[in-house]
Amino acid sequence: MSWLPVLLLVTPTFAAEPPAQAARGKAIFVDAATKTSCYNCHELNKEGTAVGPDLSKIARLSPRALKMSIMATRTVYAKEVELKTKKAFPAMVASESASEVKVHDLSTVPPTAMTIDRKEIYSIRDNATWKHPPENVGFSNQQLADVIAYIRFASFGDTKGVSVEEMQ
Residue 151, number of CB atoms within 10 A of its CB: 29
User: Does the protein bind ligand HEC through residue 142 (CB under 6 A)?
Assistant: no
User: Does the protein bind ligand HEC through residue 51 (CB under 6 A)?
Assistant: yes
Binding track, positions 19-38, relative to ligand HEC; x by CB under 6 A: -----------------x-x
Cβ 46 vs Cβ 56: under 8 Å: no
User: Does the protein bind ligand HEC through residue 69 (CB under 6 A)?
Assistant: yes
Cα angle: 117, vertex 122, 125; to 5 degrees: 105
Per CB under 6 A, the list member of 6, 62, 77, 120 interacting with ligand HEC is 77
* Alpha-carbon span 120 to 128, nearest angstrom: 22
User: Does the protein bind ligand HEC through residue 65 (CB under 6 A)?
Assistant: no
* Alpha-carbon span 147 to 140, nearest angstrom: 11
Residues that bind ligand HEC (CB under 6 A): 36, 38, 40-42, 51-53, 55, 58, 66, 69-70, 75-78, 92, 106, 109, 111, 132-134, 147
